[in-house]
Chain A
Amino acid sequence: MTLLDVQALDAFYGDFQALFGVTLRVDAGETVALIGANGAGKTTFLKSLVGLLDHRRGEIRFAGDTIAGEPAERISRLGLSLVPEGRLLFPSLTVEENLLMGALNRRPGAWNLARVYELFPILRERRRQSPNALSGGQQHMVAIGRALMSNPKLLLCDEISLGLAPLVVDQIYESLGRIRAEGASIVLVEQDVKRAAGAADRVYCLLKGRVTLHGQARGLGLEQLSRAYFGT
């Protein structure tokens, strides 16, 4: 069953066109990796999906609803949740308050405060602290937990391994497995091609705002990937 269906998406920042006819599909229960170099349009693509970028053309269907043009606050209630690039936690709130912000939509499902603390036990210890007092990896955990609290059908993760020690990245990716087990689909935006392809069912590669490659993660050769990634 198709959960997310994006057809010929164009996106703009003012006069600058950042995405050109991007077509992408995510099935229910699937993990899709979206890879590409800096400035390829990965973050722009996610922003267009969640409604933070008004300037766009094309069709976006999510769980049967057309969401292109809908405001972000309404899209979030449909079960589309973003772990934003750079985490963007609320520094004026404690860790626990940050997590509770994710639950404002009151969507029913498997995830709640207790389950997020089970997934990331360190957050329970740190729940009364400001997120600024946490390490980078722990901040990523808060961002993921916050997104999970709304019980999304589709979790969008923007560069969740950026700037983290490999051991911490392992831990974060391990948690993704448990999130999948609860039934959520995942879109993984990454610069780390190997890591993303290893965790995903299918891979899309963006280059300068265009999809240059898509296919099953397992069948992709390194040479094929690097050509799509660098455009050589």
Chain B
Amino acid sequence: MIWVETIVNGILYGGLYGLLGVGLALIVGVMRVVNLSHGEFIVLSAFIGVSLVGVFPSVHPLVLLLPVAVIAFALGFALQAVLINRVVTRPDPFAAILLTFGVAVVMRNLMVEIYGADLRHLQAGRLAQASTGIGSLQVGVLPLLILALSVVLFTALQLLLTRTRFGRIVRATADHRDVVRLMGVNPGRVYNLVMGLSLALASVAGMLLAIRASFSPYSGVERLLVSFEVVVLGGLGTFWGAMLGGITLGVAELVGLRLDPNAGPLYAHLLFLAGVLLRPNGLFRVRT
């Protein structure tokens, strides 16, 4: 029974991991660039969340997800428009990757400067402790909510990309950046919106993760690592693959912790390594 519970919790946790990674998958899929500052933005949104909770103590943190996502969208849009668009059209993708690495380093140090290096935590009140019984299983209400929210956001992203005019433009831009210009589309503007969307999704994941685990300005590297593993496990640039990749990692991590309480995320990383060696194109090839 304890194993079933562990696996169920792993799935609930993994949905959050999937959400961490899907924004990165979006960037990789559309721009063929890895955003190395993805983790720092996840941490920054958690800090913004903490600040907002300080300003509006009576508002529940889950309600604050919306303003944080809006702020993250604006930051992503600006990051892309001001910096990354300058280098993203170069044939060598290394320039853009290096640039995002620089952004990550600067952001990390700015966050230490502004918020200090202490570990922080986002309080979710009674909701964090509440649990409900499914059959004979005890499952936390908050993790269930988080998984539900992840699924809703994944579905919304999928519909946005497959059913709307905007989604059509994004997919076409990912296919042929030059050809869409012949149809009046400015690829740079598409990239701005996509980066905004990517970081908005990441910010939701960052806030939710901050309720479940403490964080510091240095947590960005871990967040990026998880996001990256999710993207690679899921198959580069695919979204449902990212969700399944996240769940796989979540289950591996919690099962690993059950086997060896000192292991931390070791088993998730080992699984990632095995996955890359055995199926280098991703465990789940669900092309969108």
Contact = CB atoms under 8 A, between A and B. Distances in A.
A104 B183 contact: yes
Contacts of B75: none
Contacts of A82: 182
Contact of B181 (A76, A92, A97, A98): A76
A139 B182 CA distance: 18
Given A93-B168, A97-B168, A104 B185 contact: yes
A174 interface: no
Contacts of B179: 84, 88, 90
B178 A93 contact: no
A92 B178 contact: no
A93 B185 CA distance: 16
A102 B168 contact: no
Given A92-B174, A93-B168, A100-B168, A105 B181 contact: no
Contacts of B121: none
Contacts of A105: 183-184
A52 B178 contact: yes
A146 B180 CA distance: 11
Contact of B172 (A71, A76, A90, A150): A90
Contact of A150 (B175, B183, B288): B183
Nearest to A80: B182
Contact of A51 (B172, B175, B181): B181
A88 B183 CA distance: 13
A101 B168 contact: yes
A109 interface: no
Nearest to A71: B181
Contacts of A192: none
Determine the interface band of chain A, counting residues with CB < 8 A from chain B: 20 to 34
B81 interface: no
A200 interface: no
Contacts of A104: 169, 183-185
B235 to A, nearest CB: 15
A101 B183 contact: yes
Given A73-B185, A73-B186, A93-B168, A101 B174 contact: no
Contacts of A31: none
Contacts of B176: 88, 90
Contacts of A77: 184
B127 to A, nearest CB: 40
A102 B274 CA distance: 44
B168 A76 contact: no
Contact of B183 (A51, A52, A76, A91): A76
15 contacts: A52-B178, A52-B182, A71-B181, A72-B182, A73-B186, A76-B182, A76-B184, A90-B172, A91-B175, A93-B168, A93-B171, A97-B171, A97-B172, A102-B183, A104-B184
